[in-house]
Structure 1
Amino acid sequence: MNVRPAAVAGMFYPASTTALKHLVTDLLNEPLPIEVPAVKALIAPHAGYRYSGSVAASAYRLLAGKTFQRVLLLGPAHRVALRGLAASNFDAFETPLGIVPIDRTLRDRSKKIPLIKIRDDAHEDEHSLEVQLPFLQTILPDVTIFPLVVGQCSAEELAGAIEQLSDEQTLLLLSSDLSHYLPYDEAVEVDEHTIEKIEAAEQQMRGNEACGAYPLNGFLRFAHQHHWQIHCVDYRNSGDTAGKRDHVVGYASFVVH
């Protein structure tokens, strides 16, 4: 089996299986922020857990008791220049909690989508997808995944690809942080505006508003086409969680239903 090993264990989250399991379990055991009967998708941040783990967990808790066969995972490219979407040749992704198999159904569907190319190098060091996996392994332990690194593409192109890949048994999971390195008060103002745009499914996100602008714009186009509702579950920035307030990074989680 060709397994993509964990690349950021010990940096973005604990490398110890026991420590990681306890941390994620504790984060997920907080009270539910809201009640949502039918979850279609989540949007979650992807910084180190000490910074954004509690914000991400606010969304993941809404999956308790839900059933999905697979997760279509979309995150921005941080390490490589990329046009379109990058799948991989890996059979599974690994974290200290074990391996998560790649979904064969979505892999087969993806071969018919010209926008998707095989780029193992886009996945090897990418953290935006990996940091979501321990939450999925804990709250949805039996799901398979289909991770795609998203590079430059139009909202229409990505929405079309999602249309071909998604179904009722597939959870859509978007990975994105918000503003970067602004003073605290300015960051809050910018992020509040971005959150309003996401909840309204506006498809004009810019990179200075969200590092996952490309995956977000395509997903928001898809959500708008299907008349889905988007609600912010939690918002904080690194000045609230584990950092100084002179230059912060914004984090928000959303549920889509």
Structure 2
Amino acid sequence: MTHSTPATPAIRPAAVAGAFYPGSASALARDLRVLLAGASAAKIWRPKAIIAPHAGYVYSGPIAASVYGPLRALRASIRRVVLLGPTHRVAVNGLALPSTSGFATPLGVVPLDAAAIADIEALPQVVVSDAAHAMEHSLEVQLPFLQSVLDDFTLVPLAVGRALAAQVAEVLERLWGGDETLIVISSDLSHYLPYAVARETDAETARRIVALDPPLDHQQACGATPVNGLLLAARRHGLQAQLIDLRNSGDTAGDRSRVVGYGAFAFAMASANVH
């Protein structure tokens, strides 16, 4: 007797819609319009990579919007997004790809980049784990922002567990590409410190990120592993980092006794200006 296994779903459904962000397309699109309209018009360089936070939009949405807003100027040229975020619910060794062909949000489905995935899947630190992706919010919350500011794009989603910064950097190197590829690292900063302590702690972390000075630890940034990998790759490629926004949940929608820190950063060649 043969036993068949259930087919893997082709599309990874939205897991935190209605919790971290609105579950209806109209409400989500409205909230994103408001967040992006409220983003500073500050000039940033043409980013090759960004770091954005991944809490609920009421908490970290304004900070994320500050670095996503300027990407609208590049909406026609960015065709692939390499998205890395830490695992929160399922432990994994290495960097986990899903076996699905797309990721859904209330705004539609983002197709995965099969060719790019094929370029990295033989690396020993790259594994396949649908469980690591199933309920993971760190990647999902970035997608509606990307869907709002870019035209059609494909996705390479990597849930990062136990890995060395050099292993992350090696994956990024394989996927680096040209102007068509944007790297997005999803990370919050400090967790559950008093407001004043968090401000001081996060300011030092931001200084280290802007200086491309790894390693950060997981008390400084929950996504320290992918952040450290990006910092190594950024140094290798001669990028410069720019702090776009630095706030915490006490500044947005939380009380100030225990806050979570959020930073938005852009990485680019210094000569690559975008207005």
Q: TM-score range by the shorter chain?
A: over 0.9
Supply the RMSD in Å over aligned alpha carbons: 1.1
CA contact (8 A) 2:105 2:143 kept: yes
Shift of 1:107: 1.3
Give the Cα–Cα distance (whole angstroms) in 2 for the partners of residues 134 and 31 of structure 1: 16
Q: Is 2:161 aligned against 1:151?
A: yes
Which amino acid counterpart does residue 39 of structure 1 have in structure 2? P
The answer for the alignment partner of 1:36 in structure 2 is 44
Structure 1 range deviating more: 46-55 or 162-171: 162-171
The answer for the alignment partner of 1:170 in structure 2 is 181
SS state at 2:196 partner: helix
The answer for the alignment partner of 2:118 in structure 1 is 108
1:14-46 Cα deviation digits (max 9, x unpaired): 001100001111211235442234211110000
Shift of 1:217: 0.7
Name the % identity: 48
Q: 1:111 to 1:31 in 2, by over 3 A?
A: closer
Give the Cα–Cα distance (whole angstroms) in 1 for the partners of residues 86 and 10 of structure 2: 23
Alignment coverage as a number of residue pairs: 257
Gaps (5+ residues) in structure 1? none
The answer for the alignment partner of 1:194 in structure 2 is 205
The answer for the alignment partner of 1:10 in structure 2 is 18
1:215-256 Cα deviation digits (max 9, x unpaired): 111111111111101111011100010010000000010111
Q: 1:179 to 1:163 in 2, by over 3 A?
A: same
The answer for the alignment partner of 1:98 in structure 2 is 108
Rg comparison, structure with higher value:
2
Give the Cα–Cα distance (whole angstroms) in 2 for the partners of residues 221 and 146 of structure 1: 20
The answer for the alignment partner of 1:80 in structure 2 is 90
Give the Cα–Cα distance (whole angstroms) in 2 for the partners of residues 150 and 141 of structure 1: 26
Which amino acid counterpart does residue 83 of structure 2 have in structure 1? L
Shift of 1:59: 0.1
Under a length normalisation based on structure 2, what TM-score does the superposition of the two structures give? 0.91
CA contact (8 A) 2:39 2:62 kept: no
CA contact (8 A) 1:33 1:233 kept: no
Q: Is 2:189 aligned against 1:183?
A: no
